[in-house]
Amino acid sequence: MNQRPIVHRFLRLVPGLVLGIVLSPVPPAPAAGSVRVSEADFLAVLEADHLAVEARSGELARAEGALRRAGTLENPWIEFEREAPSDLAEQSTLKLGWTPPLDGRRGLAVDAGEAAVDAARHDLDWARLQLRQEMRAVFAGWAVDQRRRALLARHLESLGALQARLEVRAERGEESRLAARRFALALTGVRARLAESEARLARIRGRALALHPGLPPDAVPLLPDPPAAPSTLGGVEPPDLRARRSEVEVAVLRRRLAGRVLDFPTLMAGWTRISEAGEDFDGPWFGLSWNLPLFDRNQGERHEWSRALAVAEARLELAERERDRRRTAALQAYAALRTSLMEVAGVVEDADEVAAAAGVSFLAGESSMTDLLETLRAVLESQLDALELQARTLAAHRELELSAGRPLTRGDP
C-alpha cells in the first residue's frame, strides 16, 4: 500500500493544526501592567460627593433656604420722631413694634418648607440613581467596545495568518493568486471595522475617565455578567414617586397657608417726651396696627395653589401608573433577554472550534475558499451578535434598576 499520500496529507495538516490555534478569536488577556476595573470599582465613586450629583443639587439648596426663611421670626422695628414747631414747643417719640407669629402662618410655612426639602432630596436621590445608570451604561459600553475591538483584532490576525500561508502556497503553485486576493479583500473590510471600533473605544474611554477621574489611563474594564432577575421589585418606592408625594403635601400646605387672610396685629410701644413753655412731660406710649383684609384676600395665591395641588395629584397618579407598568415590562424584558443570552452563550462557545476546524479543512484541501471565508465570517458575526445581546441585556438590567428605584447589583454603595 502506498503510504506517501497519507504522509503528505499529514504534513499538510500540521500547519493547519497550528493555524487552527491562531484562528480561535478569543480576546487576548490584558497587558501585564494594566489595571482591571470591575463595575463595582467604577461605581464606587458615587459613595463620595460626585461633582455630577453636586451640580444637580441646586433645587435642594433653594428648598433649604426657603425653609430657613420660613422658620425665621420677623424682625421688630424701631422708630424715632421729633417735632419742633417752635422754640417753645417740641415733642420726641420713640416707638418699638413687632408682629408676633401667632396667626398660624409660620407653622404652616415651616411644614410646607420641610415637605419641599423632602421633595428636593427625593429628586436628588432620583438624579443620583439616574447618574448611576449613566455610569453603568458608560462602563458597559466601554467593556463591550473593548471586547469588540479584541474580537475584530483577533479575527484580523487570523485572516492575516491565512493570507500569509496562502501567499506561500501560491508561490509554490499549490494555490491560485485569486485566493490570496480574496483574503486581501476580506482583510480590508475587517480593518475598516476595527478602525471604527478603535474610534468608538477611544470616545467611550474618554467619557469613562471623565466620570471617574481617578482611573489610570491604561485601565481595562471587565465586562459584567448580567445578574439573576429578582423575584419581585416590591417593597421600595422609587425616589421619583416619593418626590411626587412630597409635592402633593407641599401644595396642600401652601393652599392652607394662602387661605390665612387675617394677620396678627402689630403691637407697638414706646416713650413720648413733650417740652412746652419750659414744662417737660413724658410717659409711655402704646399702639396697635392691624391690616384689614377687605380687598386683597390672597385670591390669586389661593387659586395658584389650588391648581398646583391638582397638578401635583395628577403627576403622582401618573407616576404610580407608570411605575406599575414599567416594573412589569422591565422585569419581563430582562428575563427574556437574559434567558436568550444564556442559550446563545453555549452555541458561541463552540464557535472557536468551528473556526479552527474550518481552517484545518481548507488547508487540507477538503473545503473551498468560499466555505472558509463564510465560516470565519459566520463565527465572527455570531460572537459580535452575542456581544450585542449581552449589551442589550445589561441595558435592560439598568432599566430594571430604575423601575425598582434601588441598586440591584452587589458591591454597590
Checking if the pLDDT of 78 tops 50, the result is: yes
Share of the chain above pLDDT 70, in %: 88
| Confidence tier at 410 by pLDDT (50, 70, 90) | low
**What is the per-residue pLDDT for 19?**
39
Domains, the chain = 37-71+103-260+298-404 (1.20.1600.10)
d(CA 209, CA 220): 12
**Which set of grid coordinates corresponds to residue 174?**
499549490
Checking if the pLDDT of 104 tops 90, the result is: no
Residues 89-117: b if buried by 16+ CB within 10 A, e if exposed: eebeeebebebeeeeebbebbbbbbbbbb
Share of the chain above pLDDT 90, in %: 46
Q: How far is CA 390 from CA 47, 338, 340, 411, in A?
A: 27, 8, 9, 21
The β-bridge relationship of strands 89-98 and 77-86 is: antiparallel
In DSSP terms, 97 is beta-bridged to 77, 268
Checking if the pLDDT of 140 tops 70, the result is: yes
**Which set of grid coordinates corresponds to residue 393?**
441585556
pLDDT digits 0-9 by tens, 284-303: 989 998 888 888 888 999 99
Checking if the pLDDT of 29 tops 60, the result is: no
Residues 6 or more apart whose CB falls under 8 angstroms from that of 273 comprise 91, 92, 93, 280, 281, 282
Q: How far is CA 242 from CA 114, 246, 258, 283, in A?
A: 14, 6, 24, 59
CA angle at 264 for the pair 260 and 268, rounded to the nearest 5°: 160
**Which set of grid coordinates corresponds to residue 188?**
480590508
Read off the pTM.
0.78
Residues 266-305: b if buried by 16+ CB within 10 A, e if exposed: bebebeeeeeeeeeeeeeeeeeeeeeeeeeeeeeebbeeb
Which of 48-52, 97-101, 175-179 has the highest mean predicted lDDT (pLDDT)? 97-101
Q: Mean pLDDT, to the nearest integer, of 139-144?
A: 96
Q: Mean pLDDT, to the nearest integer, of 91-116?
A: 92
Q: How far is CA 139 from CA 94, 135, 167, in A?
A: 71, 6, 42
In the chain, the amino acid numbered 117 is: V
Checking if the pLDDT of 377 tops 60, the result is: yes
